[in-house]
Structure 1
Amino acid sequence: MKRNDLLLAVLVMAIWGFNFSMIKMGVTNVHPLLATAARFALAVFPAIFFIPRPKVAWRYLVSYGLVFGVGIWGMASWSITVGLSSGMSSVLLSGNVLIGMAVGIVIFKEESPVRKLIGAALALCALVVLVSATTGNVTFNGIILIMIAACSWTLMGVIVKKSQTTQAFAFNVWGMLFAPIPLVLFAVSLHGEQILWQAVELWDWNTTIAVVFQAYPTTLFGYWVWNMMLIKYPLSTTAPLTLLVPVFALISGYFMYDEVLSLAQIVASGLFLIGIGLIVKPANAPLFKMSLKTPLVR
């Protein structure tokens, strides 16, 4: 990967990591489902008027919007409001790699090399330590919601693959069109219409800044750069850099919210990322050199 491209990719990883702290800022007063709906509404409009619809069936765009909007980011945002720290939310969301690997083995009968199996075992053991050694930064409800998000990430990959789209950025923008309304309806079904008026009353500048950051730097700029990298470089070159996202998320959580991991969680986080790295790294690339050649997804 060229140096300028690498620096640009690392910048996006930093933005995606910092995004988890911005999510926490945005859901402090406003329900996470409504804040997430606002994020995608801003990301879609007015961009959608300048981007032609990708040549795929509508069912793929609708299902992508539901899974990406409600399943991933609605649940990830909600997990933070029920006690999961922003940094831990990012780390645990990376568990989608384990789920995707399991789906590939069980459903698609894919074969996994010993290296990936070792990585999966290491990551699973690290997850147990991360959860059991909590200092109050992990809750049962938070784990349930972030696991739904991780499963949804795997489902999203299946939807994109089935669609056979070659217009990744357009597919992302048009798919997000179907995220805001389901998110709002979900929030209303849980709490009634008063949740909307409460959001209006409690909305402040922090919420606005957080939602705008999630819509533009995180979603539009981030995915624009990411898709360019996917076009210019093979996935085996780009994918491992996403391991930087949880690192940046943990750092930003520490500086913005004083989120601190126990010593056991720090060690477990490192082992977890090494395990995930063993799964996603190119077959012939040394584990500790791959981060100089790669990006991730958030």
Structure 2
Amino acid sequence: MTNTHLKPIHLITAFIVIVLWGMNFVVIKIGLKGIPPLLLAALRFTFVAFPAIFFLAKPKVELKWLVIYATTISFAQFAFLFSAIAVGMPAGLASLVLQAQAFFTVGLAALIFGDRLKPSNVIGIFIASLGLLLLGSASITNSAAQVSVAGFGLTLCAALSWACGNIVSKKMGAVNMLSLVAWSALLPIIPFLLLSCLMDGVAVVWHSLTHISLTAVLTILYLSGAASLIGYTLWGKLLAALPTHVVAPLSLLVPVVGLTSAWIILDESLNQTQMIGALIVMAGLLFNVFGQKLIDALREK
């Protein structure tokens, strides 16, 4: 029988994952200072796949679903996210806006699988949408307006891609998550390299590879090893040990770490409008997860 209570080992595991995933955005920002975004993505997935696939069995899913999952989660999500941060999306805000995937997932599940939207989902989406509008308007008031708007839009595209991958994952059913992450990392490597050569130029790609810095190497190792393989492995263990409704809300702490670490390490700060927008988005996320219990309690009264 699955345990429903968080033990100390569960809290420690969750803390490690939240920190690894929250810091991920700051590390991406640092890595992009020396490597073009699509090349960085190619290198990330290269070291996610190798040597892991030599030790992990291929996930027991149809090839078409593996390809679609890799296209959405692995390729599209990170192509948009890395590009967003490269054109000026602040790392901290990226960690928050990316959580819009939760609402995209709910909406897509309703359209594709006929899942009924709960009142908490509708209210949560409405609240978070107001927050995203405020964040978007704050970007327009910045001096680098076009870059900020582009980064904001690309991050939302990354969130939608993640949501599409969630739908594919739901379609696949139970699967070894670590194996899925490693094997799905194989597919986007070549497309990322080709696109980087096309968009950045072969000379730039070659120079980036032959003059790679220690900081860039450590960035790639963090993104592939810590954030991907270790993060997903520990998260999978939590999902196996505890009910999903206990584990899933813990991911809401990722943007808290993302915003805090970006402030401390990158000196990123939010203006008043962005701060209000961020708090409203978090409120929407929280209501999406916990709001139904409140609504049911009020109905019982």
Task: Provide TM-score, normalisation by structure 2.
Answer: 0.89
Go from structure 1 to structure 2 and tell me whether the alpha carbon gap of 1:283 and 1:237 turns closer, same or farther (over 3 Å shift).
farther
For 2:179, which of 167, 170, 187 is the aligned residue? 170
Match for residue 80 of structure 1 among 85, 88, 94: 85
Given that residues 61 and 178 in structure 1 are in contact (C-alpha distance below 8 angstroms), is that contact kept between their aligned partners in structure 2? Answer: no
Corresponding residue of 2:278: 269
Unaligned runs of 5+ in 1: 287-298
1:35 equivalent to 2:35? Answer no
Amino acid at match of 1:230: L
**Would the alpha carbon gap of residues 263 and 282 (structure 1) be closer, same or farther in structure 2, given more than 3 Å must change?**
closer
- C-alpha displacement of 1:136: 5.7
Matches for 1:15-26 after TM superposition, within 5 Å: 15-26=20-31
Higher helix share goes to which structure? 2
The residue that corresponds to 2:154 in the other structure is: 145
Letter in 1 for 2:167: V
Give secondary structure in 2 for the equivalent of 1:39: helix
Paired residue secondary structure (2:187): coil
Q: By how many angstroms is 1:175 displaced?
A: 1.1
Question: Match of 1:212, as an amino acid?
Answer: L
Alignment counterpart, residue 132 of structure 1, candidates 123, 132, 137:
137
The alpha carbon displacement at 1:263 in A equals 1.9
1:237 and 2:242 correspond: no
Aligned residue-pair number: 286
Shift of 1:127: 0.7
Q: Structure 1 vs Structure 2: percent identity of aligned residues?
A: 29
Residues 30-77 of structure 1 show CA distances to partners (whole Å, capped at 9, x for unaligned) of 111111111111121111111111221122222222222221122111
Given the alignment, which residue of 102, 108, 112 partners 2:107?
102
Distance (Å, rounded) in 1 between the aligned partners of 2:174 and 2:192: 25
Q: Check the 8 A contact 2:96/2:278 in 1, yes or no.
A: yes
Q: Secondary structure at the match of 2:115?
A: coil
State the partner residue of 1:218: 227
Unaligned 5+ residue runs, structure 2? 1-5, 296-301
Residue-by-residue CA offset, 1:86-119 (whole Å, 9 max, x unaligned):
0111111111112122223344332222222111
Distance 1:195 1:152 in 2: 28
SS in structure 1 of the partner of residue 113 of structure 2: coil
Residues 179/132 of structure 1: CA separation in 2 closer, same or farther (3 Å cut): same
Q: Deviations over 1:163-191 (max 9, x none)?
A: 22422221121111212112112212323
What is the SS of the residue equivalent to 1:75?
helix
Higher Cα Rg, which structure = 2
User: Quick one: distance in 2 between partners of 1:190 and 1:121?
Assistant: 37
CA separation in 2, counterparts of 1:74 and 1:252? 23
After TM superposition, the score normalised by the length of structure 1 is: 0.90
